[in-house]
Structure 1
Amino acid sequence: MTDERWFQIRKRRKIELYVCLLVVFPMVYGLWFNIVFLVQYTALLFCIAVLTAIYELGKLLIDKTLRKR
């Protein structure tokens, strides 16, 4: 693995960590102070998860069709 590739992977993992923290901290706040906020936020996260799954599935299908050619 080249150094450049290693740094790209490390940068991506760091970004994923910060996104995870941005998601978890408001959920913890909502759990303790506002249950309605938590329900709405969880619904938003569920929608984001579904859209991400659809996007990843589309990428996989496109890659698979391009490899067959």
Structure 2
Amino acid sequence: MSDERWFQRRRKRNIELGLCLLVVLPMVYGLWFQLAFLIHYMSFLFVVAVLTAIYEGIPIIWEVMRNKQH
């Protein structure tokens, strides 16, 4: 294979690699962004669930403690 042919193949390979990266990198970035958004959203829902459980549990705990005293 001549040097010119080798350089043509190499150039074609570099162009293909560049196009592949242009397509794949935004997809990977989008997946990481979605994952980060999902983690933040789920942590927010977890905090809301814990606060709701505490809010709902306080009257029940007070009632149980009042019944034990009488």
TM-score scaled by length of structure 1: 0.49
Larger relative contact order (CA 8 Å, sep ≥ 6): 1
| Structure whose alpha-carbon radius of gyration is higher | 2
TM-score scaled by length of structure 2: 0.48
